[in-house]
Chain A
Amino acid sequence: MLEATNALGNAVLSTGGTLTDPSAAAALAVGLAALGAGYAERGIGSAAVGAMAEDDDLFVNGLILTVLPETIVILALVVVFIV
């Protein structure tokens, strides 16, 4: 993980781009939003699987609730089109 970050930093530096570049900042925004969505889905997903283990009928509800935080990423994607 850490080596990958270093490699990424080197790549960014060698191509001359910086993180203050608008498109880089937009990419970062989407990435962070995705991270947040992932964290939210972790809790919801494990609760949904627990509920499904007790009652199979909850599969659809569980699925919908689990992917609900994906909307955050979609909203964050708007930023990419604005910049």
Chain B
Amino acid sequence: MSAAGSSNPEFVVARVRARRGQLYGDEEYRKLVRMTPAEIARFMEESSYETEINALGSRHGGVDLIEYALNANLAKQFEGILDWSEGALYDLIARYLRKFDAWNVKTVIRGVYTGASQEEIESDLIRAGEFDDRRIRRLLEADSIDAVVETLEDTIYGDPLREAYAEYEESDVLVPLENAVDRVFYERLLENLPGGEPIRQYEAFLKAEVDFRNATNALRLARSGAEIDPAEYFIEGGELFTRDTLARLARNVDELVEYIAESGYADQLGPALRELEEANSLIAFEHATDAALLAYGDRLGTVHPVSVTPVISYILAKEREVENIRAIARGKEAGLSADDIESELVIT
């Protein structure tokens, strides 16, 4: 509930582990891939998504219903975790879940920029972060980007957004604003972590995530060949890259691949890197980083059973499930074959 007092990892971990057992496994995915969107919705209604499907069923249908139900369920589960946890544990989980705040801020900014209606923006928000309903309502009511920035004045995003806003006014592109939000999130993620062995492991895990994010961004930039300064997209805090190495490597795909292949992540990412060289497919690499993170989280969760790590491992697995079901539903809608969809899934 709050960051004061002692933490209660036993309670949170027990609940999270029970929830983890309810996530879909291989078997369920195999069934889902062979269903139509309507059948998927019915399947979800019979599992842990029952409340959301019933609540949204009258307003939406088909793939939209699945998508909104997934988002609503994700938000509910993560809000729940924040509600239960206390003390230092709350702080550690909130750090990670702030990524949904960042997502919401970016969605609102993009929505305002493209002139989307309030309802359209609202349906894309994931209310899983630290922002309360009042702040989200105020964000939604903002009718200009200036107003959005003002609403966030007293949050951690306030000052960086204010600075980025000046840049935005000059160039009229959203990149500086979005980068500012992302950067604040990642800075806060790794800042002032308390001591202790589980926390060290947690930190290593977060660093791996930053590294993977940097690697993916660099690969995308290198392959697109766009004239964008890679340093603009650099996220501080990782171990693998510095701003300079990233800027240098992002110009050449081969060198970048080699650099990653020689790093400490070679074992997890090796096969995906080979595929990247042969088939030129970035998707496989992105899936490999996701799978590697999931496996990493799982391992940490078993090494330190009574700490923050099982919770983070659950958060990752849940996000993965939501993305998998979304991929299945969207793939079905687009008429992809079961095999094609299966190759889009990340299942561990």
A residues sitting closer than 8 Å to B (CB atoms) are: 43-44, 46-51, 53-55
Contact = CB atoms under 8 A, between A and B. Distances in A.
Interface stretch (B5-13, B60-68, B284-292): B5-13
A46 B8 CA distance: 8
B10 A54 contact: no
B15 A50 contact: yes
B19 A50 contact: no
A49 B11 contact: yes
B15 A51 contact: yes
A54 B18 CA distance: 6
Contacts of A48: 14
A47 B14 contact: yes
Nearest to B16: A50
Contacts of B84: 50
Interface residues of B, number: 12
B18 A51 contact: yes
Interface of B: 8, 10-15, 17-19, 84, 306
A60 to B, nearest CB: 16
Nearest to A58: B18
10 contacts: A43-B10, A46-B10, A47-B13, A47-B14, A50-B13, A50-B15, A50-B18, A50-B84, A51-B14, A54-B18
Contacts of A55: 18
A69 B86 CA distance: 25
Which of B12, B13, B18, B19 has most A Cβ within 10 Å? B18
Given A46-B10, A47-B14, 7 more contacts: A47-B10, A50-B11, A50-B15, A51-B15, A54-B15, A54-B19, A55-B18
